[in-house]
Amino acid sequence: MTGLCNLDAVLDIAVIGAGFAGLHMLDRLREHGFSCHAYESATGVGGTWFWNRYPGARCDVESLDYSYLHDRELYATWQWSERFATQPEILRYAEHFAHRRGLWPHITTGTTITGAAFADGAWTLTTDTDERVRARFVVTAVGCMSAVNTPAIPGLARFGGTVLRTSRWPAEPVELAGRRVGVVGTGSSGIQVVPELAKTAAELVVFQRTANFSVPARNRPLTQAERDAAVAGYEQRVENARTTRFGHPVTGTGRAALETDPAGRTAEFDKGWARGGTHIVATFTDTGRDLTANAVLADYFRDRVREAVHDPETARALTPTGYPIGTKRLCVDDDYYETFNLPHVRLVDLRDDPIQEVTETGIRTTRSDHELDVLVLATGFDAFTGALTRMGITGRDGQLLADTWRDGPRSYLGLAMAGFPNLFTLTGPGSTMVLSNVMRAIEHHVEWVRDLLVYAREHDITEIEAIESAQDDWVAKVADLAGKTLYPHTDSYYLGANIEGKARVFAPFAGGLDAYRRICDGVANEGYRGFRTA
């Protein structure tokens, strides 16, 4: 535990979380003279990149874009080694930023906030050691995907082998050589971890509920010329952060797939596939909004799966069907499909052969008993809302956030909620979150909240709260934008469909970071329209 603050004092602002959002928020608040402190459950900084230590963990946004842009010197001096950075390198980057900005004394690690209650114009935070922290304002920086989802698989507790979670992978090395390993889940984490585990496991069994679309990363070391060019183009990157839909340019043809001849479409898709990364989905302008055009892109991906996987039945099971491409997170992999050609790797399609229970020695499905030494759960997160609803947040008149959001998250701009004064949520539900480069979303949210808090100080404002009617309008706008896309066609974590009993509400703002930024600027320029102040 580091950086314990005076628990008897009343802070100006408490920050919950010390990932990239929490670190940047803490730094900006300190620059402006606020008394502030951050509280972090992990024993170090980095958030997602502290916990997700599983083999193969790697960012699916290119390193030169998955970087802070607000600090030019940092951008110029940090040397990313690869096109898509690994977890250890990203964690070092977060630690470097904390050291560089002198943040460590202002962070308490190894401390979980288990309750937050607003009364008498201030928040009281309760820690897992039953200590109390008082603050006039609270900013949550808990991450979009940090609340672990452990599905209720019958018998899981009685498994006699080792249970590992990709979302909480141990820091110490895990010996898997010569062992029989089972992986449950084939989302982004599962798709990254499977090829790595296959390198050492004696036997690897992958349990798949839904086949996901995945594109090769084509990862490689960055050249010094590429790093130098990125630094030389710094101003343009900053401008792109303000003016592009995702916060960085996504290259496409500017043409519609349905208006391009089949040979021409295939040639363009081939270029995107060879380049690697997610930009291929933006090759044509209509694949994200027209089901017929989307099917053209989806069929291209399906053909690549059938080419890569030798066994026709395994290829069939690995081929995504039943939903438009891009409406679930598009995964980025290193030889994922090719891994299933190895003789010691098997796929179990849970649609055809469901899990019945976990036994002491493995997993029993409808058709077989699979003997295992190690069980890896790559089962994702209670995304967007889970970290907040599990925190025991109670606002005005004792209303519990978990109850308020029972039928789906409700916020204004994704940054504040009616009934919860002086509480701000970085990358909260109703913001662009994962539908943009999250580093660009983080920097925008931090600067916007920082400006609001400075405005409050300058105008002697002690309470700021979203007005319910403004919140209602925002919730309706988020829903309307989602309805104009293909996202509602798919049960995904964007809708909360991966969590049993969770309300099916599309949480992210789907209008683009550039449009979102303009809206937030308009709110600020009009004296923070939609907020009640006192």
Assess whether 122 and 180 both reside in one domain.
no
Together in a domain, 322 and 393: no
Report pLDDT for 9.
Answer: 72
Tell which of 377, 404, 428 closes a domain: 377
Same domain for 311 and 298: yes
Tell me if 68 sits within 8 A of 223, measured CB to CB.
Answer: no
pTM of the model: 0.96
Q: Is residue 87 part of a domain?
A: yes
Instruction: Clarify whether residues 314 and 427 are in a common domain.
Output: no
How far is Cα 132 from Cα 11, in angstroms, rounded to an integer? 12
The parts of the chain modelled with pLDDT lower than 70 are 1-8
Residues 199 and 95 in one domain: no
Please check whether residues 523 and 428 belong to one and the same domain.
Answer: yes
Q: What SS3 string covers 96-154?
A: HHHHHCCCHHHEECCCCEEEEEEECCEEEEEECCCCEEEEEEEEECCCCCCCECCCCCC
Q: Could you tell me the CATH number of the domain that includes residue 101?
A: 3.50.50.60
Domain closes at, from 325, 360, 377: 377
The total number of structural domains in the chain stands at: 2
C-alpha to C-alpha distance for 449 and 465, rounded to whole angstroms:
13
Is 24 within the bounds of a domain? Answer: yes
Q: Coil, strand, or helix at residue 444?
A: helix
Q: Which of 377, 406, 431 corresponds to the end of one domain?
A: 377
pLDDT of residue 8: 57
pLDDT, residue 251, reads 86
On whether residue 73 sits in a domain, the answer given is yes
Instruction: Assess if residue 226 is contained within a domain.
Output: no
Domain that holds residue 470: 10-148+382-533
Distance CA 129, CA 437 (A): 35
Please check whether residues 332 and 455 belong to one and the same domain. no
Burial degree of 433 (CB within 10 A; 0-12, 13-18, 19+): buried
